[in-house]
Amino acid sequence: MKKVEAIIRPSKLKAVQRGLKEADIPCITVIPVKGTGLQKTYSERYRGTEQSMILHSRVMIMCVVSDNHLDKCIEVIKENASENQVGDGKIFIYDVQDAIRLSTGVQGNEAIL
Ligand SMILES: Nc1ncnc2c1ncn2[C@@H]1O[C@H](COP(=O)(O)OP(=O)(O)OP(=O)(O)O)[C@@H](O)[C@H]1O
Ligand SMILES: [Mg+2]
């Protein structure tokens, strides 16, 4: 099992969610976040704030998928979230030890579908 965290532009959320659903990955958690990546214009100022200190609104999509679904999940996010521009976001992937569905007590891969 893997946890995928994708930090993307809010405008891409609908397309990514649709793509994941079509790829049999319907279970996601979405969290509004603010953040900054590598900014190249260190000296510019916007309304008195140094450009590199501005926190941009992004959306974090979190999903836990079986190892079998991982490649497809990443492909869908890359296809739907990228404008091939700086600030598109990033994907982080983690190992997950286990999952438990509370309604049935089912554990493991069965619990995440
Ligand atoms: N290493 C990181 N750790 C945690 N969050 C990150 C990291 N890198 C990027 N982020 C998050 O992702 C968002 C988008 O990052 P962004 O795409 O600007 O990354 P970047 O490294 O600057 O690459 P790019 O050159 O594409 O702009 C950031 O606003 C931040 O919330
Ligand atoms: Mg950036």
Q: Which of 12, 34, 36 to mutate to test the pocket of ligand 1 (most atoms within 8 A of CB)?
A: 36
Instruction: Give the CATH number, domain containing residue 10.
Output: 3.30.70.120
Say yes or no: CB of residue 5 within 6 Å of ligand 1: no
pLDDT at 42 over 60: no
DSSP codes, the chain: -EEEEEEE-GGGHHHHHHHHHHTT----EEEEEEE----S-TT-EETTEEGGGPPEEEEEEEEEE-HHHHHHHHHHHHHHH--SSTT-EEEEEEE----B-TTT--BTHHHH-
- Whole-number Å distance, alpha carbon 69 to ligand 1 midpoint, is 24
Q: Is 64 in the pocket of ligand 1 (CB under 6 A)?
A: no
How many whole angstroms from 100 Cα to the centroid of ligand 1? 31
Average pLDDT, whole number, for the chain?
A: 93
Q: Please tell me if the CB atom of residue 62 comes closer than 6 angstroms to any atom of ligand 1.
A: no
Structurally, the chain folds into a number of domains equal to 1
Q: Of all atoms in ligand 1, which is nearest to the CA of residue 34?
A: 31
pLDDT, tens only, 18-34:
999 999 999 999 999 99
Tell me the C-alpha to C-alpha distance, in Å, between residue 38 and each of 7, 42, 76: 14, 10, 24
What is the pTM (predicted TM-score) of this model?
A: 0.90
Q: Does the pLDDT of residue 40 top 80, yes or no?
A: no
Domain that holds residue 33: 2-112
Using one digit for the tens of pLDDT, what is the confidence trace for 55-68?
A: 999 999 999 999 99
